[in-house]
Amino acid sequence: MNARVMCSLPNEQVTEALAKLLELKAQLGTNDGKQTFVLKTPKGTRDYNPKQMAIREKVFSTIINCFKRHGAETIDTPVFELKETLTGKYGEDSKLIYDLKDQGGELLSLRYDLTVPFARYLAMNKITNIKRYHIAKVYRRDNPAMTRGRYREFYQCDFDIAGQYDPMIPDAECLKIVHEIFSELQLGDFVIKVNDRRVLDGMFEVCGVPADKFRTICSAVDKMDKMPWEEVKNEMVAEKGLSPETADKIGEYVQLSGATELADKLLQDDKLSQSKVALEGLADMKQLFEYLTFLGVEDKVVFDLSLARGLDYYTGVIYEAVLVQNQADTQMQQNEHCEPVGVGSVAAGGRYDGLVGMFDPKNRKVPCVGVSIGIERIFSIMEQRMEASEKKIRTTETQVLVATAQKKLLEERMKLVAELWKHGIKAEITYKKNPKLLNQLQYCEETGIPLVAIIGEQELQDGVVKLRVVSTREEVDVARVNLIEEIKKRSCQS
């Protein structure tokens, strides 16, 4: 816009135009009249290179196979929701929701997790029974700590069971799934902490916490895995207005942990037994540990009264899986001068029987329980181990390279690779008309391709293909009609 045109505009439009120009200039910058850009990913996000993606796909495959093994089907929901859908569901964490500008008469927000959209989906479609998994990105306007797998954009892997069932059977299966996934991923020792929001609410009640402070005190207790009790107590008293005497009463409970025997002890507790909701929660906790024994996972589960899970929508059992850092990991981090990772929550979930009813008051009877796998923390641990290890990681699944040692055979290579693709073989050719055989073999060694199908004039005349095993350099002539079967057989063996 030139000066003459700007002068003809009203003053307020001139001011607005100048402001936009200054904003654009600040965003782009100038360098002798040339535009300059800062090449970086937004704060709290990252790119993934092929090696990192290979690890990511392996982890996803393990998790999805587990979900499917337990009979789950999958759904998908929009990456953004109506703002009112998310509002009031996350307690103090609601301040971390990403709000979007009004683009067409709707106030929207990026999804904070996959649980609230799932409840909205159930209510909207009048679904009362489903076992589903959902793997997708979520967004939080959080303070990122990327070396510990804490991002603003990240994946969640959720498994949920919705429907009216007998108590603690679906809940036990969710914990079994957590046990299976972390056993298969072999990340090291882990423990699954469990508690019940009804036990927490009953505890707050008998300790004298005002009802309107239950959720905010619950949020403070949830920090006990990161802060010592004295700091948590100080937050309750100084920031949240609780009396020191009440905080001390809470402290007598939240520092307890155990298993079935702790539930028995608390059922006999003079103060806690006065709370009906606490007794219900403790009875269910005893039932849960019985089922966990049947499923063979009770040795990894601990009843921990400090576990609170700050989200508002939990109504019953809650749980969190934590990796236990071993000496090997500690030594590796010291050698690599890395910030420690692998300690902290790597999965969490619980029961949320009232969430669907918040969207559909006429259909409140859709109890739900689920678990979310903390995939980014898992990636951070596995990537750090990858960097410390000399083990080579394949970034492709190519089974065979179609190669030649002679010139003018591009047509034959293309015909053969097309035949392999047609039969489901993962195959490649190099993009040169007359490549050198040595370069083709080196490419296989660099990328980890296990087999080379070599053709030449003599092989074409004899109707065979020379199949070479890259690792052993063994070569064998295979009849062209038998090549597909031979490659599949060798791929299965490897």
User: What distance lies between CA 293 and its chain's CA centroid?
Assistant: 27
- Token pair of 483 as six digits: 């090549």
What is the distance between the alpha carbons of residues 156 and 115, in angstroms, rounded to a whole number?
10
Q: What is the dihedral of CA 134, 135, 138, 142, to 10 degrees?
A: 120
What is the distance between the alpha carbons of residues 240 and 408, in angstroms, rounded to a whole number?
80
Tell me: is residue 77 an annotated ligand-binding position.
Answer: no
What is the distance between the alpha carbons of residues 79 and 256, in angstroms, rounded to a whole number?
40
- Token pair of 91 as six digits: 């307690």
What is the distance between the alpha carbons of residues 483 and 453, in angstroms, rounded to a whole number?
9
What is the distance between the alpha carbons of residues 232 and 350, in angstroms, rounded to a whole number?
23
Tell me: is residue 248 an annotated ligand-binding position.
Answer: no
What is the distance between the alpha carbons of residues 82 and 100, in angstroms, rounded to a whole number?
10
Tell me: is residue 443 an annotated ligand-binding position.
Answer: no
Would you call 455 helix, strand, or coil by DSSP?
Answer: strand
Tell me: is residue 156 an annotated ligand-binding position.
Answer: yes
Q: What is the dihedral of CA 470, 471, 476, 477, to 10 degrees?
A: -20
What is the distance between the alpha carbons of residues 329 and 325, in angstroms, rounded to a whole number?
6
Tell me: is residue 115 an annotated ligand-binding position.
Answer: yes
DSSP secondary structure, 336-348, as one string: HTPPP-S-EEEEE
User: What distance lies between CA 364 and its chain's CA centroid?
Assistant: 29
Residue 52 carries which side chain, given as an amino acid letter? Q
Q: Note every long-range contact of 207-213, with CB atoms under 8 Å and residues 24 or more positions apart, other chains counting.
A: 207/246, 207/249, 207/250, 207/253, 207/271, 208/243, 208/245, 208/246, 208/249, 209/242, 209/246, 209/250, 213/240, 213/241, 213/242
Tell me: is residue 462 an annotated ligand-binding position.
Answer: no
What is the distance between the alpha carbons of residues 195 and 494, in angstroms, rounded to a whole number?
45
Tell me: is residue 246 an annotated ligand-binding position.
Answer: no
DSSP secondary structure, 349-382, as one string: EEE-TTHHHHH-TT-----EEEEEE-HHHHHHHH
Tell me: is residue 440 an annotated ligand-binding position.
Answer: no
Alpha helices by DSSP H, listed for 401-436, are 410-422
User: What distance lies between CA 90 and its chain's CA centroid?
Assistant: 18
- Token pair of 313 as six digits: 């929508």
What is the distance between the alpha carbons of residues 40 and 374, in angstroms, rounded to a whole number?
25
**Burial profile 29-40: b = 16 or more Cβ within 10 angstroms, e = fewer:** eeeeeeeeeeee
Tell me: is residue 314 an annotated ligand-binding position.
Answer: yes
Asked whether 364 and 370 are in contact (CB, 8 A), the reply is: no
Binding-site residues sit at 113-115, 140, 156, 160, 309, 313-314
Binding-site residues for L-histidine sit at 113-115, 140, 156, 160, 309, 313-314
